[in-house]
Amino acid sequence: MDCNTATLSEIEDLLRRFRFKEVLSDDTSSKTIWLLGTIATTNVTSVDDEPPVPGQNAAIVVLERLAFSPQTIAKADCSLDSVLLATGERNDVYAWATGDARVAALKPDVRIALTYPATQKHIDKHRRQQRKWVCETPELYAKVTKPFIDSQPASRIQWVYNILSKQVESEHILFEDPDPERGFVIVPDLKWDATNMDNMYLVAIVHRHDLRSLRDLTNSHLPLLYNLRSKAVVAAQKYGVSSDQLRLYIHYQPSYYHLHVHITNVLLEGKGMLAGRAHLLDSVIDNISNIASDYYQRATIPYVLGSSDELWSHWAAHQNTSSDEPTTIST
């Protein structure tokens, strides 16, 4: 049994033992739903009443309907002679229905992501919650955000170090520059099915461990950023995506504190590209090369946090003890 087969078998076993407890949230625009449950100790058919315990038996399963791939459909049989409909209506020349298309070219049609054992941070991240608008000044970054980042255990990004050291996913690395100062790896993002080029989504993870977020960047890091930008174009061309079809950006706040750059097809739209989170790489380069070398140490950066986000609890605590409260808006 090869490595991929073994991994698939392990995932299938975990999913068979998944016991649903609640819906954390859903997104109708992306046809995605986040489920919280437990992983039973054995693959039994009886209902497991044990509650999810973060860090132990808790598990999060994400189900996402995959986008249609024109390239795949064009090459395959798209006959609808096996269609099975459940509901339908017709009005003059228009008809609509729901059901199972049963088209071979459309299978598989669901992408599944599993987090196990899920921590409380994982659960809070995906649970539906209020949104808070924060205006982070350099002073508030130093008082609130940086201490929070400094307190994060290295174990939370061990999976990043595993990729960089090629302990896992080495076969998925599309490009690597091993230079310790200006190097990085480029891998497909887990959210991309690697088939529909309109949804191409890659991530560049830098080798340096001292760069944790946008706030750390200065003009001394321009060789790294220029190198990354040029090599991202090369990596995307492997999928037929040209330089004028690319969107490169950095999240702030990021989902994990190790500098990485998102590389997507401009046709891909999503919450990750929204104002208040995404900072275009070209703008980042321009700001620190033409405006101020320490631009991101001096700038006020607004962003959105969830009310259950661990960082928001630090902001809320600061508001309760200080008069220089950040501007926040619940949405």
pLDDT on residue 101: 72
How confident is the model at residue 48, as a pLDDT? 57
Question: 165 Cβ partners below 8 Å, 6+ apart?
Answer: none
Check whether 52 is labelled as a binding-site residue: no
92 annotated as a binding-site residue: no
Q: In what helix (H) or strand (E) does residue 298 lie, and over which residues does it extend?
A: helix 295-298
Going by pLDDT thresholds of 50, 70 and 90, the confidence category of residue 2 is very low
Residue 22: helix, strand or coil by DSSP?
strand
161 labelled as ligand-binding? no
Catalytic-residue membership of 260? yes
* Range in 97-101, 134-138, 238-242, 260-264 with the lowest mean pLDDT: 97-101
Lowest mean pLDDT, pick from 22-26, 73-77, 112-116, 222-226: 73-77
Is 189 annotated to bind a ligand? Reply is yes
- Tell me what the mean pLDDT of segment 240-253 comes to: 96
318 is in an annotated binding site: no
**252 marked as part of a ligand binding site:** yes
List 126, 260, 314, 318, catalytic entry: 260
Residue 105 has pLDDT above 70, yes or no: no
Helix locations, 105-204, DSSP H? 120-126, 138-140, 146-150, 158-164
3-state secondary structure of 143: helix
* Per-residue pLDDT at 44: 56
Residue with tokens 């033992």: 17
pLDDT at 77: 64
Q: What is the mean pLDDT of residues 191-220?
A: 93
pLDDT one-digit tens code per residue, 161-204: 999 999 988 888 999 999 999 999 999 998 887 888 988 999 99
Q: What is the pLDDT of residue 43?
A: 60
pLDDT at position 331, please?
Answer: 42
For residue 59, the cross-strand partners are 37
Query: Which range is least confidently modeled, 20-34, 81-95, 123-137?
Result: 81-95
Q: Is residue 154 predicted with pLDDT exceeding 50?
A: yes
Best CA proximity match to 76, nearest among 101, 96, 100: 101
Question: Tokens 């999928």 — which residue?
Answer: 239
In the predicted model, is pLDDT for residue 122 greater than 80?
Answer: yes
pLDDT at 307 over 50: yes
Q: How confident is the model at residue 329 (pLDDT cuts 50, 70, 90)?
A: very low
Residue 271 has pLDDT above 60, yes or no: yes
The CA distance from 293 to 221, in Å, is: 10
SS3 letters for 254-277?
Answer: CCCCCCEEEEEECCCCCHHHCCCC
Whether 166 has a binding-site annotation, put simply, is no
259: annotated binding-site residue?
A: yes
pTM of the predicted model as reported, rounded to 2 decimal places: 0.72
* Residue 44 labelled as part of a binding site: no
Q: Give per-residue pLDDT as tens, 23-71.
A: 999 887 778 899 999 999 876 544 557 889 998 999 999 998 877 766 6
